[in-house]
């Protein structure tokens, strides 16, 4: 049955589930997890026998927690404010369990509460342990769960972990080892929320559910690929975390590498989770290693200074709360990489991401090669451009194919035009939030959209020379781009002659003027 078909299932077809959230009084629970679970309940996609147990250190009762979560739902649910009657149906499913994450008594009490609920229901429940805590707890909670016997049931116990999965290759391996000591790999769900986005999942559908593009999806027809994840926001209230991470760890190691895998992977034989994940990890294994000495030629970093974004003055990164005044952390990263296999040999993949850029846009751009022979008269092909396919992930969700067409008139003149697909226009159904998709998949025990240990480690492995080189050589020119610009000039230097960073495509309006974006 397809994913949509599964989503239509009524609640009584889903197994009883207890959703335990460590960090249940925290921001992620309030902003993302509970609004997503609430929205699933509105879509009748939660089991009838369902409970959320929020575990946290602070003293709080069920009523106070529910009040707080109601506020989060009102702000973040895609259904808007929750009417009292609707919320009152959902709220009794939420329970609070106070406790220190590093005390065995917390886990004993938690186990007791789970058993009590199961007795009330007269049914064994799937128990999902979600770590919505600071990363320092990621290595601790699994151990305590293991010792308390809560990880033992391979079929019914699952653990969910968010990025950052480690800080580098070594720490990622260590964390994976801690997880593996208590849980089987099949019980571990590592979230990269990009994989829950409709448009990211659609990359697979577009490539492998249509016979049109796959035959030309290779070095013979594709000149180069760019992957851009541009944000207008700065570090917001997360300076403390971000200043120890930077763009490479925060965005490239996970979101951009995941996009790369989906664009470059070989066709899967079936829709089995491990089949797809095998194909993705093959891409990372084929990524040409960067020698540390070659890093300056393959990677560019930047940090924003004061400027303007979205018509407002923006402070420089070093002035943001929680950021060191002499911080060397990058808020922009651009990379060039090659995938050494038959399909992609010598096709450059350019990746870039940054904060405080002029426009929010996550896009994959496939630039096709020029026609092998130009048979039109020179005056016909003024302004001629090779075809380009843009998979736009956000904010606009859709696909644009740019190609040449004859301009109306007696003369033969060619002009670039666009063919557009836009989710909003084509489908009446709204896209669920990425967390809805991912939480629902955890409940269904479907790991397709989650990162496997070897994939996380392969992504770190590829990035380590860049991380290492950037760590030992302090940047001398930070801040090197103003807020509201497209990053440091040096990012142009990564591009081969004739290549350019594309301007984010305006799917809804007229085609953006072509050319370099910075
Ligand atoms: C998170 C990063 O993983 O993704 C943030 O930590 C970033 O720094 C965010 O802003 C972007 O996600 P989205 O869904 O808003 O594109």
Q: Which domains does the chain have, with CATH numbers?
A: 3-162 (3.40.50.720), 195-431+459-513 (3.30.360.10)
Return the bridge partners of 333, or none: 301, 353
pLDDT of res. 401: 95
Question: For residue 72, is pLDDT > 50?
Answer: yes
Ligand 1 nearest-atom number relative to CA 254: 3
Per-residue pLDDT at 11? 53
Distance between CA atoms of 288 and 271, rounded to whole angstroms? 27
pLDDT of 508 over the 60 cut? no
Q: Of 230, 192, 475, 458, whose CA–CA distance to 334 is shortest?
A: 230
DSSP 478-489: -S-EETTS-S-G
For a substitution probing ligand 1, which of 250, 304, 396 has the most ligand atoms within 8 Å of its CB?
250
Please work out whether the CB of residue 457 comes within 6 Å of at least one atom of ligand 1: no
Is pLDDT of 507 > 60? no
**What are 133-147's pLDDT values in tens digits?**
999 999 999 999 999
Ligand 1 center to 193 CA (angstroms): 8
In this prediction, residue 403 has a pLDDT band, given cuts at 50, 70 and 90, of very high
List the residue whose alpha carbon is closest to atom 9 of ligand 1.
251
> What is the number of the ligand 1 atom nearest to the C-alpha of 229?
16
pLDDT value, residue 186: 96
State residue 1's pLDDT score: 36
pLDDT tens for 277-327 read: 999 999 999 999 999 899 999 999 999 999 998 889 999 999 999 999 999
Q: Which tokens sit at 290?
A: 């960067």
Using the atom order of ligand 1, give the atom closest to the CA of residue 241.
6
End-to-end CA distance of the chain: 46
CB of residue 231 inside a 6 A radius of ligand 1: yes
CA distance 14 to 237: 38
Please state the atom number of ligand 1 nearest to the C-alpha of residue 233.
10
- Cβ burial of 220 (10 Å; 0-12, 13-18, 19+) is exposed
Residue whose structure tokens are 């093959």: 282
Instruction: Tokens 């899967």: give the residue.
Output: 268
3-state secondary structure of 16: coil
Longest dimension (CA), the chain: 84
In eight-state DSSP terms, residue 329 is -
pLDDT tens digits for 164-201? 899 999 999 999 999 999 999 999 999 999 999 999 99
pLDDT at res. 202: 95
Q: How far apart are CA 35 and CA 154, in angstroms?
A: 28
Confidence of residue 364 (pLDDT cuts 50, 70, 90): very high
Atom 2 of ligand 1 has which residue's CA nearest to it?
A: 250
CA of 429 to the centre of ligand 1 (A): 24
Q: Say which residue, 382 or 26, is predicted with more confidence.
A: 26
- What distance in angstroms lies between residue 475's CA and the mean position of ligand 1's atoms? 24
Predicted confidence at residue 222, as pLDDT, reads 98
Q: What residues act catalytically?
A: 255
DSSP at 218: S
What is the residue whose two structure tokens read 């909003």? 424
Give the integer Cα–Cα distance in Å for 283 and 225.
Answer: 14
The tokens of 422 are what?
Answer: 């836009």
Banded pLDDT at 131 (limits 50, 70, 90): very high
- pLDDT score recorded for residue 77: 94
- The stretches of 43-78 forming alpha helices (DSSP H) are 62-76
Spell out the alpha helix ranges (H) of 135-253.
141-147, 169-182, 198-208, 239-242, 247
What's the average model confidence in pLDDT over 109-115? 97
Under the banding of pLDDT at 50, 70 and 90, the label for residue 506 is: low
**Whole-number Å distance between alpha carbons of 355 and 233:** 6
pLDDT(482) > 90: yes
C-alpha 242/C-alpha 323 separation (Å) is: 8
In the reported structure, the alpha carbon of residue 135 is separated from the centroid of ligand 1 by a whole-number distance in angstroms of 16
Q: Is the dihedral of CA 476, 479, 485, 486 positive or negative?
A: positive
Is the peptide bond prior to 395 cis by the omega test (within 30 degrees of 0)?
yes
The overall average pLDDT reported for the chain is 92
Between the CA of 192 and the centroid of ligand 1 the distance, in Å, is: 10
Mean pLDDT value across residues 242-256 = 96
Kindly report the protein residue whose alpha carbon is nearest to atom 8 of ligand 1: 250
Ligand 1 and 250: CB distance under 6 A: yes
pLDDT band at 378 (very low <50, low <70, confident <90, very high): confident
The long-range contacts involving 473-478, CB below 8 angstroms and separated by at least 24 positions, are 474/328, 475/301, 475/303, 475/328, 475/330, 478/302, 478/303, 478/327, 478/328
């Amino acid at each position: 049955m397809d994913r949509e078909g599964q989503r239509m299932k009524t609640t009584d077809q889903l197994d009883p589930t207890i959703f335990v959230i460590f960090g249940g009084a925290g921001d992620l629970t309030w902003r993302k997890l509970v609004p997503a679970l609430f929205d699933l309940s509105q879509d009748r996609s939660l089991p009838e026998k369902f409970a959320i147990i929020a575990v946290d250190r602070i003293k709080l009762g069920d009523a106070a927690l529910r009040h707080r979560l109601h506020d989060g739902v009102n702000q973040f649910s895609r259904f808007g404010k929750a009417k009292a009657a609707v919320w009152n149906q959902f709220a009794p499913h939420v329970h609070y369990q106070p406790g220190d994450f590093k005390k065995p008594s917390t886990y004993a009490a938690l186990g007791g509460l789970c058993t009590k609920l199961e007795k009330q229901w007269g049914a064994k429940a799937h128990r999902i342990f979600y770590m919505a805590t600071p990363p320092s707890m990621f290595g601790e909670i699994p151990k305590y769960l293991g010792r308390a016997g809560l990880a033992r049931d391979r079929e019914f116990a699952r653990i969910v972990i968010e990025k950052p999965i480690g800080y580098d290759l070594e720490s990622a391996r260590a964390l994976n080892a801690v997880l593996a000591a208590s849980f089987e790999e099949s019980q571990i769900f590592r979230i990269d929320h990009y994989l829950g986005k409709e448009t990211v999942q659609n990359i697979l559908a577009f490539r492998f559910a249509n016979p049109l593009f796959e035959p030309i999806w290779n070095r013979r027809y594709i000149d180069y690929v760019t992957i851009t994840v541009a944000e207008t926001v700065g570090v917001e209230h997360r300076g403390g975390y971000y200043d120890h991470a930077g763009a490479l760890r925060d965005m490239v190691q996970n979101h951009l590498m995941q996009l790369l895998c989906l664009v470059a992977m070989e066709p899967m034989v079936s829709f089995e989770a491990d089949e797809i994940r095998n194909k993705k990890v093959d891409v990372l294994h084929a990524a040409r290693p960067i020698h540390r000495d070659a890093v300056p030629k393959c990677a560019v970093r930047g940090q924003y200074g004061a400027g303007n974004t979205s018509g407002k003055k923006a402070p420089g990164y070093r002035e943001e709360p929680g950021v060191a005044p002499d911080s060397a952390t990058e808020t922009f990263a651009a990379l060039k990489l090659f995938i050494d296999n038959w399909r992609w040999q010598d096709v450059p993949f350019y990746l870039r991401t940054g904060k405080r850029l002029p426009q929010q846009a996550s896009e994959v751009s496939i630039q096709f090669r020029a026609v092998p022979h130009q048979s039109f008269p020179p005056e016909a092909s003024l302004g001629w451009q090779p075809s380009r396919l843009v998979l736009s992930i956000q904010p606009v969700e859709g696909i644009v194919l740019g190609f040449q067409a004859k301009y109306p008139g007696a003369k033969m003149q060619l002009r670039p035009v666009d063919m557009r697909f836009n989710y909003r226009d084509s489908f009446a159904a709204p896209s669920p939030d990425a967390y809805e998709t991912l939480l629902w998949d955890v409940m269904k025990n479907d790991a397709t959209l989650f990162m496997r240990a070897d994939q996380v480690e392969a992504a770190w492995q590829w990035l380590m020379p860049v991380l290492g080189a950037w760590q030992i050589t302090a940047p001398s020119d930070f801040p090197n781009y103003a807020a509201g610009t497209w990053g440091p000039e040096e990012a142009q230097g990564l591009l081969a002659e004739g290549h350019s960073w594309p301007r984010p495509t305006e799917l809804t309006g007229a085609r953006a003027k072509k050319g370099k974006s910075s």
